[in-house]
Structure 1
Amino acid sequence: MFITVILLIAFGMNFYVLARLCGFFAIRKGLFFWAAVLLLSVSLIAATAYQSHYGNVLSRIFYTAAAGWYGVLWLLLSALLVYEILRLFIKIKPHIAGIGILTIVELLVIYAIINAQLIRIKSITIPGPSDFDIVQLSDIHVGSVSAGYLQRVIDETNALMPDMVMITGDLVDNHNKTTRKAIGMLSGLSAPVLFVNGNHEYYAGKAKVNESIEKAGVKILRNEWTQYCSFVVAGIEYSENQDDLEGFIESLKIDESEYCILMSHGPVNPETVEKYGIDLTLTGHTHGGQIFPFNFIVKWAHPHLTGLHEYNGSYIYGTSGTGTWGPRMRLGTRSEIVLVKLRKNAQ
């Protein structure tokens, strides 16, 4: 049922966009048109399945092309919806509108592809029990991004010389031979590494993915906590249900007198972390929306999901993510490595 709904949505988007473009340039919608709509509608699901099982050069090319098309498709759809509104007030010749829309989308796609490859360092400083530097990585999505991209992330992380690295889920999209090899690269991180599962670890097969992650020397926190220096680090499993997340946190039985850092892939309600005395919560999952206008939709619907927020002494940082899922594009958001500086004398 889920795949059927996704395919129907994909068909509707592809049909509308391609039909509108054909209309702009007076192109007849014949057999080739319907073949293109059908093939493009199933391309991403087919490419994802192929890539998940094989992870070879051909599957990566197929997946990159299919995912890239859906990034382009989204921008074309957004531009066309704006056009539908403008044409109510302004008379625009169809071929001029078509050329304008294609030109604007082409420029946006080029920018979005370049922007997605630029990894920014986001530095935040908050009060802590001692001076301690943490790097948060999240939503790298090896499978959507390459092993080479992961190596860049590792190199830039090591250059920051953190005391600890925390990965808040969605490290991988699958568990094929290429991804397994990439996971092993985590052993190249120069600081202790903690990890919590995201939803994509479940999709890829959590047990097998976790086995590979632990072989790389990474400690996985599954609704448990560990003592480290002058503070506690807790990690909870992923759930869409906020009641589940609160139950996970409650089950940890953390002493509120301890400074506690909570790792969660999915966002946690501010009221929950405040209730259980969590001092710092690190989350991911949303990608900050990744591609315009999703970034504005995310911030409007859930204003506490991205960026740094304080709630009566409890801090939450929701990262926009280190990698990308699907199209290797970012428009209105950034790929980031987060450097969290705990400082004893911070204000």
Structure 2
Amino acid sequence: MSQLSPGVEHEQQDGIPLSQVPVGLIIRGLMAMLFAVGVVAGLHGYLGLRLVWEPGWGQPWTALGLGALGLLFASIPLGFMASRWRPTWLNRALYWTSMLWLGAFGLLLSATVVADLLGGVWRLVGEVPDALAFARTKALGVLAVVVPALGFAFRTARGRARVERIQIPMAHLGPGLHGARVVQISDVHIGPTLDRHFLQRVVDQVNALKPDLIAVTGDLVDGSVRALREEMTPLSGLKAPLGVYYVTGNHEYYHGGAAWSAEVARLGLTVLRNEHRVVERAGARLTVAGVTDVEGGRVDPSHMCRPDLALAGAPERVPRLLLAHQPRAAFLARGLGVDLQLSGHTHGGQLFPFMFLVKLQQPVIRGLAMIAGVRVYTHRGTGYWGPPLRLGPAPEIAEVTLVAQ
């Protein structure tokens, strides 16, 4: 048995036309982009100085090294643009190059900073006999650490997701749902570097767990419905007796949140746009609610994140499971009686050292935590975004077993 709170119409557009975006928002976006490009250019200069110029590799190696850094820097913005161009082999190659370099750049930058700090300590406590040899040793040491780390990170990101099993006690959970298994996937990011074959593998892994209910907590895609419709067809193979539920993530809104909601519904998933269903088994009931992403309202006011609306009319003394892409949505769900919120978005940090930046935006990076009085499980992500690399947090499929408290 299921109960649906107030219905919604799904628009078919891929996104909001640029002419409808406020001019001030466009200007702020351009200024932020130019600032970011300037910072990244400066950091490339720092790498060129430390890894190429100071070690004095001689010609033509110094010229080739500096030229390669310049071309790789240019590949980053070009790659982002190529992801929105027609998907030719050349555009795909450009995107792959830019994303691989973006990840390598982050690791090289981190390793070089550490090498400089250690070199500074060495200079303070001991004599450096040969500055040129010292600079070359540091540069080679950085490469010796970063190259194998890149190989490991690539293999981890492209490999099979790990199944994380957790048990959650719930008050008022009836015997009929004791032991029910909710399998969650999140942040799959089908797009320029992840295709239908990757998605089919994920679907097969999920179905092999024989879940009672499946939760898909956003960021399924990096592209428009028009570009990725065929790549998403394996999604229709997800099966669970209590239903397969989906909520939007922020990346859907970069490519048409309403259009993706409609497409996912066409593939047979239940889209929860600030609404809920009540599922029942053997007389026991569970409220499954879902909200749009917390950033959805910026793009489309009708997609404002509203946990209060999602749970309006939900039965009392029935456990409440809330699907919300970002963990910080728990601040909006405060006081609504949510027993468990399933979220993603953070990728667990995905790539060292960027996981330390996640805490600037989210209250938690991964795992089970209490946020604003709401118990939240934050998923590490099943795919990846941007660089096809995972250094630290492995991809995940979560199996959450609900038990009576």
What is the identity, as a one-letter code, of the residue corresponding to 1:141?
H
CA gap 1:25/1:325 in 2 versus in 1, 3 angstroms: same
Q: C-alpha displacement at 1:156, in angstroms?
A: 0.4
Flag the structure with larger Rg. 2
Report the TM-score, using the length of structure 2 for normalisation. Answer: 0.77
2:55 pairs, out of 25, 30, 35, with 25
Q: C-alpha displacement at 1:178, in angstroms?
A: 5.3
Q: C-alpha displacement at 1:294, in angstroms?
A: 2.3
1:193 pairs, out of 244, 248, 251, with 244
Report the TM-score, using the length of structure 1 for normalisation. Answer: 0.89
Q: Distance in 1 between matches of 2:82 and 2:186?
A: 25
Identity over aligned residues, as a percent? 34
Q: C-alpha displacement at 1:30, in angstroms?
A: 8.1
Matches within 5 A, 1:97-136: 97-118=138-159, 119-128=161-170, 129=173, 130-131=177-178, 132-136=180-184
Q: Distance in 2 between matches of 1:147 and 1:16?
A: 39
* RMSD (Å) for aligned C-alpha atoms: 2.8
Larger mean CA deviation between 31-40 and 107-116 belongs to 31-40
Matches within 5 A, 1:1-347: 1=30, 2-27=32-57, 36-91=68-123, 93-118=134-159, 119-128=161-170, 129=173, 130-131=177-178, 132-143=180-191, 144-175=193-224, 179-191=228-240, 192-229=243-280, 230-240=285-295, 248-252=306-310, 253=312, 254-268=314-328, 272-298=332-358, 302=362, 304-310=364-370, 314-344=374-404
Q: C-alpha displacement at 1:313, in angstroms?
A: 8.1
CA gap 1:170/1:246 in 2 versus in 1, 3 angstroms: closer
Q: Deviations over 1:79-115 (max 9, x none)?
A: 0111121111114611111111111100111111112
How many equivalent residue pairs? 344
Q: Distance in 1 between matches of 2:330 and 2:261?
A: 29
Q: Distance in 2 between matches of 1:223 and 1:289?
A: 27
Q: Distance in 1 between matches of 2:214 and 2:239?
A: 9
CA gap 1:172/1:71 in 2 versus in 1, 3 angstroms: same
Give yes or no for contact 2:249–2:345 (8 Å, CA) kept in 1. yes
Larger mean CA deviation between 231-240 and 327-336 belongs to 231-240
Q: Deviations over 1:56-92 (max 9, x none)?
A: 4333322122101110000000001111211111146
Give yes or no for contact 2:50–2:135 (8 Å, CA) kept in 1. no
Q: Distance in 2 between matches of 1:197 and 1:133?
A: 22
Give yes or no for contact 2:107–2:146 (8 Å, CA) kept in 1. yes
Q: Distance in 2 between matches of 1:314 and 1:56?
A: 46
Q: C-alpha displacement at 1:272, in angstroms?
A: 4.9
